[in-house]
Amino acid sequence: MNFMKTSMLLAALTALFMALGFTIGGRGGVVIALLIAVGMNFFTYWNADKIVLRMHNAREVDTSSDFYHLVAKLAQRAQMPMPKVYLIDEPNPNAFATGRDPEHAAVAATTGLMNMLSRDEIAGVMAHELGHVQNRDTLIMTMVATIAGAISMLANFGLFFRDRNAGLAGLLAVFVAPFAAMIVQMAISRTREFGADRAGAEISGNPLALASALAKIAGPARQIPNHAAQRNPAAAQLYIVPTGISQMFSTHPATEDRIERLRQMADEGDFNGNAGLGREPKPSALDAIRRN
């Protein structure tokens, strides 16, 4: 059901992009818009992970790190290929996953998150990110962000170079298209977040740890500046919790709703805690950085 809904919304976003192309340049504009969409998605498919990690100045964690071993145990439990693991020197407590498929995936967490959460909570967060990889959300969400960003760029271009014969309807389309793209982007992202929460709870075996992590980081993530997201707002949809925006315009479901669903999973499900993850003390972000 989620796959069908996401496919329909992604198709709607692409159609919106082509319609905007028609408004600006007629039939020729549709062809150009289609070629641009294909080219962007091809480039994104091969390079999205590199772009996102470079945007955040992420540093790869080596095999001597406790953080690496925690992710490795989670990946083993999920029966997934081991992703690359990164740390970001950023006080905003957050995490994300990227990569075109499970064989070419990367997960990253900020030092702010590492310093704020317990080991169990960190495991819950990283299991959520592995859930995104498992569900192949990373490619979908990057494509969505690429097309939505292109619609905004094309709309700005259309203010000056649209087909004058389109009149008021064309001008209205130029203004409405970015908002429509934002709504579709929000709908897709919110659907994928609930799915990743469920997958993360199953991977970690501890829905309440993920719920506790969300409760701890949601407020600080909005209040503490996130420099990468400020430079590129499209990055906001990557994170486990929203950063710096109101719930009305958030690409994520309300944190309270996510926490409630996780609590229901804990009440109804058969989870075995952090089996196989150990009970080591909370890893220190500074210590993890020094080991690299």
Active centre residues (catalytic)? 129
Query: CA 70 to CA 118: how far, in whole Å?
Result: 12
Supply the DSSP string of 214-269, one letter for each residue: HHHHHHHHHHS--HHHHH-GGGGGGSSS--SS-GGG-SS--HHHHHHHHHHHHHHS
Phi, psi of 50 (to 5 degrees): -65, -40
Residue that is written with structure tokens 């977040």 in the block: 193
Q: Tell me the one-letter amino acid at 153.
A: M
Query: CA 122 to CA 242: how far, in whole Å?
Result: 17
Instruction: Kindly state the tokens that stand for 184.
Output: 């579709």
Query: CA 183 to CA 52: how far, in whole Å?
Result: 23
Contacts of 220 (CB under 8 A, 6+ apart): 92, 93, 112, 116
Instruction: Kindly state the tokens that stand for 152.
Output: 């905004």
